[in-house]
Chain A
Amino acid sequence: MSSEKCPDCEALVSVPDDAVNGEIVSCPDCGLDLEIALAGQERTVKPVVLEKEDWGE
């Protein structure tokens, strides 16, 4: 497990070692939903826009 900074509040967000590109994690401090972006060895987190017309339960 590694950590990345939340782009909103800069708290540390845990990223699983086997994270999948596009995986969603929540910032433990501000609760913002973040999407993990993988590019080679590099891991970043960015705010996610979740809602599409037929999404959800």
Chain B
Amino acid sequence: MTTSIGLVYDQIRPDERMLIDAAKREQVDLKLYDTNTTPFPVTGFPNRFEITNVILQRCISYFRGLHVTATLESSGVLVVNSFEALSTAGNKLLASIRLANSGIPTPKTFLAFTEESAIQALDKLGYPAVIKPVVGSWGRLVTLLKDQEMAKSIIESREYLHPIQQVYYLQEKIDRPGRDIRAFVIGDHVVAAMYRYATDSEWRTNAALGGRVENCPVTPEIEEFSVRAAKSMGGGAFGVDLMESKNGLVVHEVNHTTEFKATVKATGIDIPGLLIKYAVGMTRR
């Protein structure tokens, strides 16, 4: 009998196209749920999603993904990733707390809500330091604060943005080579890893910002830290970001609905095929 799983999305990017094609290769029936055209019953409709009991959630919109995952899980569907994983990894502060509580090396981080307390935190962290939105992606609004004058002007500008941007997540700047490591975890294993190099004019390494990528051999340390980081979020499929500090690896981010196009290109690993197999495996639990 052909196995059915679902794919819920808001836009089919090349990553989701690769999942559709992988499902065909694996002879898996992949049901597509477009969040732009599908209403999702929340209450009053039993057996709402009886067609499939496992769904890959691939919304680009974080809030859309979060809400649709909660709704699907409430009707008994297993979602990759779970609401717990999504809500934790999707918030950098909550993710930092989980990483630290799990004993995983992660940069020193402060939380502050006003300019005054933020400056106090930055004095303790030292300059340069990094300010990041607690919710956000692709490196947007991640800013390197080089000194107190710059910190004050950046924080002042955040006062005029959405209230979530006034939750100041402040982090030490790790002295690292001009690259970081993205390790792709599925279940209990790192299936691929790549180095991400910042461009000459950019300190951030996000592939979305034009950074160069290349294959990274998966060392036992990368494997251990990445899998532990993924498990600390609740388990599932994640892109774990690590930096090579003078004192060893540190995990600075755990991504929950990870784009993998660049990782596939850099490593040659069939990540979409592995994701489909992982979801199929969940239907048999």
A interface residues (Cβ-Cβ under 8 A, vs B):
16, 18, 20, 22-26, 50, 52-57
Contacts and interface: CB of A to CB of B under 8 A. Distances in A.
B140 interface: yes
30 contacts: A22-B12, A22-B36, A23-B12, A23-B16, A24-B11, A24-B12, A24-B13, A24-B14, A26-B14, A50-B60, A52-B60, A53-B162, A54-B61, A54-B63, A54-B135, A55-B60, A55-B61, A55-B62, A55-B137, A55-B138, A56-B138, A56-B208, A56-B259, A57-B138, A57-B208, A57-B239, A57-B255, A57-B257, A57-B258, A57-B259
A53 B257 CA distance: 16
Contacts of B54: none
A20 B11 CA distance: 9
Nearest to A16: B17
Nearest to A52: B61
Contact of B14 (A20, A25, A57): A25
B32 interface: yes
Contacts of A52: 60-61
B224 interface: no
A22 B11 contact: yes
B167 interface: no
Contacts, number: 54
B39 to A, nearest CB: 17
Nearest to A36: B12
A20 B34 CA distance: 9
B211 interface: no
A6 B45 CA distance: 44
Contacts of A54: 61-64, 135-137
Interface in B242-272: 255-259
Given A55-B138, A56-B137, 16 more contacts: A16-B17, A23-B13, A23-B17, A50-B60, A52-B60, A53-B162, A54-B63, A54-B64, A54-B136, A55-B60, A55-B137, A56-B60, A56-B136, A56-B140, A57-B208, A57-B259
A23 to B, nearest CB: 4
Nearest to B239: A57
A10 B20 CA distance: 27
Contacts of A55: 60-62, 137-138
Interface in B4-27: 11-14, 16-17, 20
A57 B86 CA distance: 12
Nearest to A35: B11
Contacts of A23: 11-13, 16-17
A3 B11 CA distance: 20
Interface string B56-95: 0000111110000000000000000000000000000000
A22 to B, nearest CB: 6
B77 to A, nearest CB: 21
B20 A18 contact: yes
A57 B138 CA distance: 5
A20 B61 contact: no
Contacts of B34: 20, 22
Contacts of B61: 52, 54-55
Nearest to A23: B12
Contacts of B135: 54
